[in-house]
Amino acid sequence: MSIAEKFVAMEYGPAPEDPKEAVAWLDGHERRFGLFIDGGWQEPAAGEYFDTFDPSTGEKLASVAQGSAADIDTAVRAARVALPKWRALTPHGRARYLYALARLVQKHSRLLAVLETMDNGKPIRESRDIDIPLVARHFYYHAGWAQLLEQEFPAHEACGVVGQIIPWNFPLLMLAWKIAPALAAGNTVVLKPAEFTPLTALKFAELCQEAGLPAGIVNIVTGDGSTGEALVKHPDVDKIAFTGSTEVGRAIRGATATSHKRLSLELGGKSPFIIFDDADLDSAVEGLVDGIWFNQGQVCCAGSRLLMQESIAEVLIAKIRDRMSTLRIGPPLDKAIDIGAIVARVQLERIQRMVAQGVEEGATCWQPQVALPPRGLYYPPTLLSNVHPTSIVAQQEIFGPVLAAMTFRTPHEAVELANNTVYGLASCVWSENINVALHVAAQLKAGVVWVNCTNLFDAACGFGGYRESGYGREGGREGLLEYIEPKWFKHAPKLSSAGGGGESALLSTAAGSGEATSDESDKSSDGANVSAIDRTVKLYIGGKQARPDSGYSMEVRSSDGRLLGEAPLGNRKDIRNAVEAARKGAAWSKATAHTRAQVLYYCAENLAERREEIVHRLAAVVGEKQAAAEMEIGIQRIFSYAAWADKFDGVVHNPPFRNVALAMNEAIGTVGLICPADTPLLGFLSLAMPLLAVGNTVIAIPSEKYPLITGDLYQLFDTSDLPGGAINIVTGYVSQLLKTLAEHDDVDAIWCYGDEATVAAAKAMSIGNLKQVWTNEGRTVDWFDPKQGEGRWFLEHATQVKNIWVPYGE
């Protein structure tokens, strides 16, 4: 076609990015890559390799080592050996390496972008303009955290050797999200890239060499699911960070239950994209393009569920169709392509299968008339309308360029539909009315809410999900917390067994509490004969005392074996009732921080009022000295959390856009609490109070050793204006109640403080809805020491961060 003919046609011609540098790099390695372990390249132990392909052509790009359990072991050892030196380096020393990595990513940005596009199939525009710049930004940002680590996180230390497993949709970006914070915090890393997309991670390994990063700090072990499994199960790994599917996340939770590995999971999503009738509709349509038609829809936070206000549905659908018709689908290395290739045949088939099923279930499928390239793995942009919440395409993650559209009538219904999912990763709200937008944003169960924008990311803003979209955050201060631990906790001794420990061990460290308690104990012995009338302690559910469903009781004995009384023996149904009551405890979760503070102060006041009788009874189990100390410090602890209630604020981030990103600390929701055995009063208060302070509702199982404390506690809560359902107490055997509580799908988190076996059980049983699990890892916590027993660490676990992005401008 001549220029004159092209002048008439006015079509886009081909605009290919030249891949020759990337090809030269591959050829320079003879298209064969080993494992990057201990600073050098190694053949895989079993000598096995697998191939990685360009999904847009089907051509083999390279052979890559299949890492085995033996290779993982070698890599973990290397990381372990490297750890002490890396940790001993000054913060500034680590910052310089991260800074060097950021610079190197920039210097090799085009090679990385081209390589990413070849391996993954995503348009070069995206790898060049979005992925790689964000990678560099992530290293810059975390070079900063490395520098500031000791100032900002005193008395913390790195988790240790971290195993990281990343997905194929943003290969290098996910690597950056994992490696940058891990290194900044002083961890060493074994990372397994996705089987479909290992190449940029291998190039990154070379950048680590170029940066002079000491051997063993970063190890890259390529392989398939079995390689990842070996990493997850390796006994010498201290933490696992995983991004990928919810199914695999669940398996990882199960596999790590009996270990002390910390876990952060960034899993699937079915994110709602809500458009109100007062939105800028043309811009909202572009938002969809950046949402569901970004990276071929293979994005965990893709706005895949379109919720449109009924009054605009027809107009909007027409606009979306028109826009879909101008999307250009084709070779991803072409600089003027919007939609590239699907990563692998298995993924393409999954998309085809799910769309077919959606249509079978009544959805109307619309695709623009676009010619797909004759070879390679492509799927056209697809709009499914007439979708109902019951349809598979409204519930399950498709991970393809497929938008499922539904309508709503009111903001209330929009929220209801948006939250009608097991996921909670991201969401979009489009409205020109800031009242509507922020009101809805506050109610969405999602880690990220984009107001009038979509798929914006920045290293300063934490990213991560609610519900089965996982737990933990990546990016921001909260992301760094996933890679450090309080020093004392890391080195805390193991609890000997349930009911072990004992008074002296705990109290010996409770400095200063001795004097205060000595005259208290005199007084309590005075009243020793007063409580002669039999006390009946009940369960406490929904603000009311309740008899146990079983009709049985458990004996409670003193330290010297005397029968002190009987506590109700709770069962499954009592837990069910307690969870229902907690879920209904909206009055508490909606109360203002100031109100919560007032109620907690009042609790402290009322506890102090009844100090003597409670200490007297408790003394029979834990001894007078400890009982008095538990009371004294318990009152202080309530005061602490009353103080915190209106001070644990979020922050406003400054990502490099004209935008405010509001990082709000939100209550997790309904939390199950297994209280420590040895400190029946103080242990309960130390855990229930931070949960309550930030607005959670709680189902607590008190110390099995002294469940009678329940009677004192509910009297306290009743007299302190704590609304019904805020806290619910079910006494009984932890071994029996934990299962129901941990498995309950309407419980959002479990805090379990017990011995190793109990803690492992809590983790293993939580996988049903992937609730967050926070435990003492079977270690002793000195509740009498405020450095261990209270503070931000507890509040951070009692909340999850929601980032609300609000661009502005007129």
Partner 1 sequence: MSVYQHNSDLASVTRKSVSGEAQASNAIAWLTGRSLQRNSGVPLDLNWIKEVRVNTSAVERRAQTQVARRTVKKDWQAAWLLRAITCMDLTTLSGDDTDERVRRLCAKARHPIQAEIEQRLGIEALGIKVAAVCVYHTFVETALSALEGSGVGVAAVSTGFPAGLSPLAERVAEIRRSVEAGAQEIDVVITRAHVFGGRWQALYDEISAFKQACGPMHMKVILGSGDLLTLRNVARASFVAMMAGADFIKTSTGKEPTNATLPVSLVMVRAIREYAQQTGMAVGFKPAGGIRTAKQSLDWLALMKDELGNSWLSAELFRFGASGLLGDIERQLEHHATGRYSAEYRHPIA
**Complex with partner 1: residue 18 or 210, whichever CB lies closer:** 18
According to CB under 8 A, which one of 173, 263, 279, 440 is a site residue for partner 1? 279
Q: Which CB sits closer to partner 1, 184 or 429? A: 429
CA 307 to CA 297: how far, in whole Å? 17
In the bound state with partner 1, the residue whose beta carbon lies nearer, of 7 and 533, is 7
Cβ-based nearer residue to partner 1, 326 or 352 = 326
Q: Which member of 226, 326, 410, 508 binds partner 1 (CB under 8 A)? A: 326
> Which tokens in the block code for residue 625?
């000295």
Question: For partner 1, what does the binding mask look like between residues 79 and 118, x meaning CB under 8 A?
Answer: ----------------------------------------
Interacting residue with partner 1 among 48, 278, 416, 646 (CB under 8 A): 278
Q: How far apart are CA 416 and CA 665, in angstroms?
A: 22
Instruction: Examine residue 365 and tell whether it contacts partner 1 (CB under 8 A).
Output: no
Q: Is residue 1 involved in binding partner 1 (CB under 8 A)? A: yes
Size of the residue set binding partner 1 (CB under 8 A):
44
Handedness of CA 16, 21, 22, 24 (dihedral sign): positive
User: Between 742 and 761, how does the x/- string for binding to partner 1 read (CB under 8 A)?
Assistant: --------------------
Q: Which of 308, 314, 324 is nearest to 404 (CA)?
A: 308
CA distance 79 to 236: 10
Name which of 326 and 497 has its Cβ closer to partner 1.
326
Q: Residue 766: enclosing H or E segment and its boundaries?
A: none
Name the nearest CA neighbour of 224 among 243, 198, 251, 263.
198
Phi and psi, residue 6, nearest 5° = -65, -35
> Are residues 161 and 79 in contact, defined by beta-carbon separation less than 8 angstroms?
yes
Question: Scanning residues 335 to 364, which ones bind partner 1 (CB under 8 A)?
Answer: 335-336, 338
Among 27, 59, 247, 282, binds partner 1 (CB under 8 A): 282
The answer to the question of residue 369 lying near partner 1 (CB under 8 A) is no
| Cβ-contact 162, 190 below 8 angstroms | yes
Q: Shortest distance, CB of residue 3 to partner 1, whole angstroms?
A: 5
| Residue 497 near partner 1 by CB under 8 A | no
Pick the piece of the chain touching partner 1 (CB under 8 A) from 384-392, 574-582, 671-679, 801-809. 801-809
Q: Which residues contact 205 (CB under 8 A, 6 or more apart)?
A: 36, 218, 220
Residues in contact with 594: Cβ distance below 8 Å, sequence separation at least 6, in sequence order: 645, 646
- Measured from the CB atom, is 335 or 490 closer to partner 1? 335
- The residue annotated as part of the active site, out of 159, 300, 453, 603, is 300
Rounded (10°) CA dihedral 188, 208, 459, 273: -100
Report the nearest approach of partner 1 to the CB of residue 290 (Å).
Answer: 8
Phi-psi map region of 476: left, alpha, beta (phi>0 left; psi -120 to 50 alpha):
left
Should residue 280 be labelled a site residue for partner 1 when binding is judged by CB under 8 A?
A: yes
* Interface with partner 1, residue 261, by CB under 8 A: no
Q: What is the four-CA torsion angle of 36, 39, 42, 45, rounded to 10 degrees? A: -80
Q: Is 300 a catalytic residue?
A: yes
Nearer to partner 1, 112 or 180 (CB): 112
Strands (E) across 75-213 are located at 156-158, 161-165, 188-192
Stretch that binds partner 1, among 172-180, 333-341, 473-481, 775-783 (CB under 8 A): 333-341
Q: From the candidates 266, 624, 704, 777, which is the catalytic residue?
A: 266
CB contact at 8 A, 507 and 517: no
Using CB under 8 A as the binding rule, whether residue 533 contacts partner 1 is answered as no
Q: What is the 3-state secondary structure (H, E, C) of 443-506?
A: HCCCCEEEECCCCCCCCCCCECCCHHHEECCECHHHHHHCCEEEHHHHCCCECCCCCCCCHHHH
The tokens for 688 are: 């229930």
Q: Is 660 in the site for partner 1 (CB under 8 A)?
A: no
Could you tell me the CA-to-CA distances from 527 to 137, 616, 680 in Å, in that order?
A: 66, 8, 21
Q: Kindly list the strands in the beta sheet with 188-192, ordered across the sheet, starting from the edge strand earlier in the chain.
A: 40-42, 35-37, 218-220, 188-192, 161-165, 239-243, 262-266, 470-471
Name the one range near partner 1 by CB under 8 A: 286-294, 350-358, 468-476, 604-612: 286-294
**Site for partner 1, residues 124 to 143, rule: CB under 8 A:** 125, 129
Q: Does 18 bind partner 1 (CB under 8 A)?
A: no
Under the binding rule (CB under 8 A), the answer on residue 283 touching partner 1 is yes
Amino acid at 69: A
* 652 in contact with partner 1 (CB under 8 A): no
* Contact call for residue 322 and partner 1 (CB under 8 A): yes
Please report whether residue 287 would count as binding partner 1 according to CB under 8 A: yes
Q: Tell me the two tokens of residue 19.
A: 């891949």
Contact flags string 448-467 toward partner 1, x per CB under 8 A: ----xx--------------
CA dihedral sign of residues 483, 487, 492, 498: negative
Q: Which stretch binds partner 1 (CB under 8 A): 196-204, 533-541, 653-661, 676-684?
A: 653-661
Q: Nearer to partner 1 by C-beta: 11 or 515? A: 11
Which letter does DSSP use for residue 403 in this model? E
Nearest residue (CB) to partner 1, 281 versus 301: 281
Does the protein bind partner 1 through residue 47 (CB under 8 A)? no
Half-sphere exposure of 102 (CA within 13 A, CB side): 22
Q: Is 310 in the site for partner 1 (CB under 8 A)?
A: no
Query: In whole angstroms, how close is the CB of 414 to partner 1 at the nearest point?
Result: 18
- 567 touches 556 (CB < 8 A): yes
Any contact of residue 325 with partner 1 (CB under 8 A)?
yes
- Min. distance of Cβ 659 from partner 1 in angstroms? 7
Nearer to partner 1, 252 or 281 (CB): 281
Contact with partner 1 (CB under 8 A) among 659, 703, 710, 731? 659
Provide the annotated active-site residues.
Answer: 266, 300
Q: Can you give the binding site for partner 1, defined by CB under 8 A?
A: 1-4, 6-7, 9-15, 125, 129, 278-284, 286-287, 290, 312, 315, 319, 322, 325-326, 335-336, 338, 432, 452-453, 657-659, 807-810
